[in-house]
Homo-oligomer: A and B are copies of this chain.
Amino acid sequence: MASRQARKSIPKDGVSLWAPVNARVRDRERKRDAVILVAARAFRERGYHNTSLDDIASELNVTKPTVYHYVANKEQLLFECFRAGLHQIMEAFEQIRNANEDARTRLGAVVTRYAEAITSDFGWCMVQAENQDLSPAMSRKVKALKSEIDQGIRQLLKEGIADGSIRDCDAKMAAFAIAGALNWIAHWYRSDEPLAAAQIAERYLQLFELGLRPR
C-alpha cells in the first residue's frame, strides 16, 4: 500500500532529496489517519449508517471530496477503522509469541491487550463492522481477519490444555465465550467509565480463570 512514485531520479546526496517527498508522504498518511480516527469516533457515537461522509468531513473542517481524496468510499473507511482496531489485537499476539510462560498466562496478556483495543476509539468499529454493512468482498476480508483472532485464542487454549495450565474444555466454545465477553465491552464502555481497560480485563480474567464456583 506504500506509495511507489518518485523512484525515477537517483538521489544525489543520500536522503536529502528524498526528504521532502517523504515529508509529503508522511503528511498525507497523517491526514489519512486523522480521517480514519475521526470516522471511527463518529461511527462509535452515532453508528455507521447514521453518520454521513458530510458529517465526517465537517468534523475535519473540510468537505466531502477531501475525504474521498483519502479513502475510496464509505465502506473502505469503515474497513480501515476496523483494521486499525484489529491491528492492536494482532500486536498482542505478536508480543506473547515467544514469551516462555505457560499458555494460561499468555492468554491473560492477550485478554488484557484485547480489552485495551476494544475500549479504544476503534473498538466499536472492530466489533460492529458487520457483514451486512460491507460488500461481499470486504465481508470476506473482515471475516478472515476476525477468524485469525479467534483461532489465536483457540490455539492458546489448546496449548494450555496441553501444558496443563488450563483445564480440559471445549476450546472452540471457550474462545467464543471469551471473545464475546471482550467484544461486548464495546457496547457498554463509555469514556467516563470508572474502571480502566486493564482493570476490566483483570476482573474478567478472574472470572474466566477461577470460575464462579468457590474453590
Binding site for B on A (CB under 8 A): 45-50, 104, 107, 130, 132-133, 157, 160, 164-167, 169-170, 173-174, 176-185, 187-188, 195, 200, 203-204, 206-215
Instruction: Tell me, in angstroms, the Cα distance from A170 to B194 when the chains sit together.
Output: 14
Residues of B within 8 A of A208 (CB): 177, 207, 211-212
Let me know if A209 and B213 touch, CB within 8 A: yes
How close is A154's CB to chain B, nearest CB, in angstroms? 13
Let me know if B173 and A210 touch, CB within 8 A: no
Let me know if B47 and A206 touch, CB within 8 A: no
The 7 sampled A-B contact pairs (Cβ below 8 Å) are A45-B132, A47-B132, A48-B49, A167-B211, A176-B185, A176-B188, A215-B215
How close is A63's CB to chain B, nearest CB, in angstroms? 24
Let me know if B132 and A50 touch, CB within 8 A: yes
Instruction: Tell me, in angstroms, the Cα distance from A174 to B213 when the chains sit together.
Output: 13
Contact of A207 among B49, B130, B177, B214 (CB under 8 A): B177
How close is A212's CB to chain B, nearest CB, in angstroms? 5
Task: State whether A213 and B104 are in contact (beta carbons under 8 Å apart), knowing that A46-B132, A183-B180, A185-B180 are contacts in the complex.
Answer: yes
Q: Which among A132, A165, A166, A209 has the greatest number of chain B C-beta atoms within 10 A?
A: A132
For the complex with contacts A47-B132, A181-B184, 11 further pairs of A-B residues with Cβ separation under 8 Å are A48-B49, A49-B133, A167-B214, A170-B203, A173-B204, A176-B184, A176-B188, A177-B203, A180-B181, A207-B211, A211-B213
Residues of B within 8 A of A200 (CB): 173
Instruction: Tell me, in angstroms, the Cα distance from A214 to B107 when the chains sit together.
Output: 15
Instruction: Tell me, in angstroms, the Cα distance from A177 to B205 when the chains sit together.
Output: 10
Nearest first, the 6 closest Cβ-Cβ pairs linking A and B are A180-B184, A211-B211, A47-B132, A173-B203, A49-B49, A177-B181
Residues of B within 8 A of A170 (CB): 203, 206
How close is A124's CB to chain B, nearest CB, in angstroms? 10
Instruction: Tell me, in angstroms, the Cα distance from A180 to B45 when the chains sit together.
Output: 20
